[in-house]
Amino acid sequence: MAKSEYVFQRVEDQRELERLRMIEQVFDPSSRRRLLSTGLKAGWRCLEVGPGAGSIMTWMGEVVGPTGQVVAVDLDPKFLSEAKRTNLSVIRADIRTAQLPEQSFDVVHARYVLIHVPEYETVLNRMLGCLKPGGWLVLEEPDFSASRGIEGTAEQLAAVGKINHAIHVMFERLGMDYALGQKLQALLLARGLQSVTMELDAPYSAGGSEMATIMRMSTVQLREKYLATGAVISEDLDSYCRFADDPKSRAIYYATIAVRGQKVEG
């Protein structure tokens, strides 16, 4: 299996931690609601794939309490040093090859992880294998094809389109799907999960908002990778960052598509 090509793997740490914390600030409330809707409670065993800065992992540890357990698997758990609770265990591993117990978890969750894995179908099968019969899979992945600039100067709106094209090309060259969120529901139904639900969240965001700031931060972190696609030049990236900071601008930066489904009993 090829070495992981996770696009944020070699970016600057402090900025990456800030970016991950902002993602948590914006998206944790919806993720918590979705996880609670599975019945998540004291005593459950949870698998968190790609915990990033770890807020969902830590929160699930609080919900499941001392009689439950949370196992987290991340390629590089460098931001998880504070995770010292006894019911949390962190495994440094690639989810494509990690040794995980079969039929062992009540819930398996990943947010913004499968989009970074070309072999997402294999990973999905492994995640399902880890679930107990009756256990829940909760996935939340982006759909960058939903992106569009709405209000801004002509130059800024053109830059939004170009940066989004660069994101498409970057993921495509790595064998990844920048619109993966769109496929999630079909992937779960094809695997026989029951009670499958889907939600789409495509916020209409002002410049300077948390969403715009997350995307500006990603652009700073991935600047060289976007330039390497040939789809953008430096001026486009600068224009995009000004757009993302401008309170008069409006855009849909991407959509998050979330699915939830239950593994069939017995």
Ligand X SMILES: C[S@@+](CC[C@H](N)C(=O)[O-])C[C@H]1O[C@@H](n2cnc3c(N)ncnc32)[C@H](O)[C@@H]1O
- By the criterion CB under 6 A, which residues form the site for ligand X? 4, 6, 20, 23-24, 50-52, 73-76, 94-96, 111-113, 116-117
Q: Please report how close the Cβ of residue 11 comes to ligand X at its closest, in angstroms.
A: 11
Q: Residue 158 or 220: which CB sits closer to ligand X?
A: 220
Residues 6+ apart with CB under 8 A from 173: 229
**Among 102, 100, 32, 37, which residue's Cα sits nearest to residue 71?**
100
Q: Please report how close the Cβ of residue 65 comes to ligand X at its closest, in angstroms.
A: 22
Q: Please report how close the Cβ of residue 53 comes to ligand X at its closest, in angstroms.
A: 6
Q: Please report how close the Cβ of residue 112 comes to ligand X at its closest, in angstroms.
A: 4
Q: Residue 113 or 237: which CB sits closer to ligand X?
A: 113
Q: Residue 18 or 94: which CB sits closer to ligand X?
A: 94
Q: Residue 61 or 152: which CB sits closer to ligand X?
A: 61
Q: Residue 119 or 246: which CB sits closer to ligand X?
A: 119
Q: Please report how close the Cβ of residue 12 comes to ligand X at its closest, in angstroms.
A: 15
Distance CA 97, CA 133 (A): 22
Residues 6+ apart with CB under 8 A from 217: 15, 18, 19, 22
Distance CA 41, CA 205 (A): 34
For residue 206, the SS3 value is strand
Distance CA 145, CA 18 (A): 25
Torsions phi, psi for 27 (to 5 deg) = -105, -15
